[in-house]
Structure 1
Amino acid sequence: MANDGVKDPVNTGRRRFLTATTAVVGAVGVGFAAVPFIKSWNPSARAKLAGAPVTADISALQEGQRLIMEWRGQPIWVVKRSKAILAALPLLDSRLRDPMSKNLDQQPDYVLKANPELRSIKPEISVLVGLCTHLGCAPEMAAEIKPEPYDPEWKGGYFCPCHKSRFDMAGRVFQGVPAPTNLVVPPHHYADDNTIIIGVDPQGGA
């Protein structure tokens, strides 16, 4: 035929257009396919609930203040204690059910190495799971050393209004209240002086 071997310029242009369009659509498709994969690199809600670590900057935390975080669906309290509070803690031992934290299920070993009465890695920073060990209520923090209706010799601590359980500023439970054990200290460590990581033991920690 007369046109054998001759390319129709219109068909060539159309072919290029289709080829380019196919390439663009293919690239867009790869982009959409990649979105769920990239998202999977971030901790999912299930992973966080299962115990993914939680990090916080505590550089702005002042004495008597509490930072509330969430780990494994539980409230975590990070509190900066004053020197007066730290000095008062040993004075409460005779009023507490487990003053030396002998119930080892309530805290990691490494928080007791320096001082069992403080129950903390850093003396001034307390880290507790904010759930009463009686029925899981949320105690109120009353950090001031002053008489309270529920304790005229109050040295600061946590009071659960639901069933009247009381804990000191180290989370140690008082005698004669419904709560059977001290508040739980979660696994944690410090990445540096101002950064706390909840959910991971320090290197070499038990």
Structure 2
Amino acid sequence: MSNDGVDNGKRRFLTLATSAVGAVGAVGVAVPFVKSWNPSAKAQAAGAPVEVSLDKLEVGQMVKVEWRGKPVFVVKRSDSVIEALKNTKHDLKDPTSEKFPEQQPAYVDKDVRSVRPDVLVLVGICTHLGCVPQHQKETEVDWGGGFFCPCHGSRFDLAGRVFSGVPASKNLEVPPYSYTSDSSIMIGVDEGAA
């Protein structure tokens, strides 16, 4: 076979042009694919720390915020509630969180399950089947107040500790948190890292 009449310059040009168009097309397809591996803005926001102001939180009041798609309860406790927490230990399954230490960071006080005794921070998900417990003030119920799960009747005191004789086996979880000032906390940031 003869190569007479074949323009080798034209052949090289067409080969290079086709290769260049193919490379641009491959990059055009790869960029969106690689970008899809990055978390969305919504996903990044869902895992971000949440700041809660304690300025307007009155004694006995609870505020609910969302962190990582979970409800988090922030409760302002009175001195009488803090004192009463010491007297309910005999009614609880795990009064000092010894059975499940992963339910709270190491820097919280085991008796009141918080950094400061007057402010309680808990993940508001029942440890039985994942329902959201309701806040019950100590003046509203005869068992000292705390949290009542309407799904199956589990009760937790105002430190999030589970009572004996209910379906839930673990205390409510204490999320990582730290104080950014006397009147503000950051949920999702460990106290040691703040």
Does TM-score exceed 0.5, indicating one fold? yes
Task: Show structure 2 runs of 5+ residues with no match.
Answer: 1-39
Q: Which amino acid is the alignment partner of residue 65 of structure 2?
A: M
Q: Corresponding residue for 1:65?
A: 61
8 Å contact kept, 1:48–1:71: no
Describe how 1:29-44 pairs up with structure 2 within 5 A. 44=41
Task: Show structure 1 runs of 5+ residues with no match.
Answer: 1-42
> Secondary structure, in 3 states, of the residue corresponding to 1:56?
strand
In the TM superposition, residue 203 of structure 1 has moved relative to its aligned partner by 2.6
State the distance in 1 between where 2:166 and 2:45 align.
Answer: 33
Query: TM-score normalized by structure 2?
Result: 0.76
Q: Corresponding residue for 2:108?
A: 111
Count residues with an aligned counterpart. 155
Q: Corresponding residue for 2:131?
A: 137
Q: Which amino acid is the alignment partner of residue 85 of structure 1?
A: V
8 Å contact kept, 1:76–1:127: yes
Aligned alpha-carbon RMSD (Å): 1.7
State the distance in 2 between where 1:169 and 1:143 align.
Answer: 9
User: Percent of aligned positions with the same letter in both sequences?
Assistant: 49
Q: Which amino acid is the alignment partner of residue 128 of structure 1?
A: L
The partner residue of 1:174 within 163, 182, 186 is 163
Q: Corresponding residue for 1:81?
A: 77
The partner residue of 1:47 within 40, 44, 49 is 44
State the distance in 1 between where 2:158 and 2:139 align.
Answer: 10
State the distance in 2 between where 1:203 and 1:85 align.
Answer: 27
In the TM superposition, residue 161 of structure 1 has moved relative to its aligned partner by 1.4
In the TM superposition, residue 48 of structure 1 has moved relative to its aligned partner by 2.3
In the TM superposition, residue 144 of structure 1 has moved relative to its aligned partner by 1.9
State the distance in 2 between where 1:47 and 1:128 align.
Answer: 22
The alignment status of 1:186 with 2:175, answered yes or no, reads yes
The alignment status of 1:91 with 2:87, answered yes or no, reads yes
In the TM superposition, residue 45 of structure 1 has moved relative to its aligned partner by 1.2
State the distance in 2 between where 1:197 and 1:44 align.
Answer: 20
Q: Which amino acid is the alignment partner of residue 93 of structure 1?
A: K
In the TM superposition, residue 63 of structure 1 has moved relative to its aligned partner by 0.4
In the TM superposition, residue 105 of structure 1 has moved relative to its aligned partner by 1.2
> Secondary structure, in 3 states, of the residue corresponding to 2:191?
coil
CA displacement, residues 67-122 of structure 1 (integer Å, 9 cap, x when unaligned): 1111000001100001111111011100100001111110000013xxx1100001
The partner residue of 1:56 within 28, 39, 52 is 52
> Secondary structure, in 3 states, of the residue corresponding to 1:203?
helix
In the TM superposition, residue 204 of structure 1 has moved relative to its aligned partner by 5.7
8 Å contact kept, 1:85–1:145: no
The partner residue of 1:100 within 96, 99, 102 is 96
Structure 1: which 4+ aligned runs deviate by more than 4 Å?
none
